Amino acid sequence: MLLIHRNHKNAPENSNDTRRHRDINGSLHAISMAKRFQNRDLKYSAAENGNIMSFIVQYELVLQDFHLSHHEKRQYAHNLFCGEALRYYYADVEPLRSSYADAFAKMQPQFG
């Protein structure tokens, strides 16, 4: 939920402005998350990396920096994976549309 004080100079005037403001912030988060994990060394790959937990912990630290909502945490989770882990995520986790915590819980048994 976006709360902006009306006296703020950048405060939206109506509901369309509020939606546009929220969409812009969401787009900036998406770009920032993609850039943060653009380096393959920061992504989890089942073939190259062992336990997925250290990557999940790193992702959670980044989430704290961006102050993302639960929906955004789930929406940008794919940025953490590459290779077989990304294929598994898209095939078996993404279609379920579960929560962010449930998504990682489903990944953990597969990639330990």
* 41-66: pLDDT as tens digits: 878 888 777 788 888 888 888 888 87
Contact 103, 74 (CB under 8 A): yes
In a domain, 6, yes or no: no
Residue-number span of the structural domain to which 41 is assigned: 15-111
* 84-101: pLDDT as tens digits: 999 999 999 999 878 888
In a domain, 10, yes or no: no
How far apart CA 71 and CA 22 sit, in angstroms, is: 13
How far apart CA 36 and CA 39 sit, in angstroms, is: 8
- Write down the pTM of the prediction: 0.67
Q: What is the pLDDT of the chain when averaged over all its residues? A: 75
Number of domains comprising the chain: 1
How far apart CA 63 and CA 44 sit, in angstroms, is: 16
In a domain, 36, yes or no: yes
Res. 21: pLDDT tops 50? no
